[in-house]
Amino acid sequence: MTDTVALSQVEALTAIEAPHALCLRNERGAVVAGEGWRWIGPTSSEDESLLDRVVAPVLDIGCGPARHLLALALRGIEGLGLDVTPSAVRLARSRGAAVVEGSIFAPVPSSGSWGTALLFDGNIGIGGDPVSLLARVEEILRPGGRILVELGSPDTAGGTERARVDHDAATGPWFDWTVVSAASIAGIALDAGLEVADSWSAGGRWFAQIDTAAT
């Protein structure tokens, strides 16, 4: 398992202000995820309440600049980030986070041993097929593992498009991205052979917890 950042290091690095914000843009140039500095800034109270639900160790899928990994390290919880965007990976590592550059659909370190997978900031849309993504995430979790998901509001229109992460002048690779609403997650989970254990909203954001079978 990849080592997490030492607590004192995280405390120092979380005080560093990154020079530029990140966002996810579609092929038309519209921002489809990312709210200015939120991805780079400190975790919000909603983020922290989500992290209260994790079971270690944690894999943060599409971790970006790694604000959740840094917050987990402050709690003494082991975690690893995974992201396909080189500039985001470099930024996360510069802040002291343990991050692997790669796709969830490729081989994943310590597959089968993760206690929790994070799909925050709408990352349930990675790959453009949420059912296949959830099934893949279940494969890399240990039995009884947990998936924590951030969703669009119940009235959010779905749909799949091409998107990439923009970080100032740097851009990541194009990938398929699907918007998943809170109203549709139960059916998507069911199609993946899973079941939503809990769903809720906080601070204008929507979330779900999916627990996998213990055996």
Ordered domains of the chain (ranges, CATH)? 7-16+23-211 (3.40.50.150)
Rounded CA-CA distance 117/60 in Å is: 6
Distance CA 196, CA 214 (A): 15
Highest-pLDDT range among 5-14, 88-97, 164-173: 88-97
Task: Report percent pLDDT > 90 for the chain.
Answer: 61
Q: Contact 170/87 with Cβ under 8 angstroms?
A: yes
Residue 39 gets the label, from left (phi > 0), alpha (psi -120 to 50) or beta, of alpha
Least confident span in 20-34, 67-81, 134-148, 196-210: 20-34
Residue that the structure tokens 């120092």 belong to: 12
What is the distance, to the nearest Å, from the Cα of residue 186 to the centroid of all Cα atoms in its chain? 19
Give the per-residue pLDDT at 7.
Answer: 36
pLDDT tier at 108, thresholds 50, 70, 90: very high
Query: Does the pLDDT value for residue 115 go beyond 80?
Result: yes
* CA dist., res. 215 & res. 50, Å (int): 25
For the stretch 34-88, pLDDT in tens is: 555 556 667 889 999 999 999 999 999 999 889 999 999 999 999 999 998 888 8
Q: So what's the pLDDT on residue 87?
A: 82
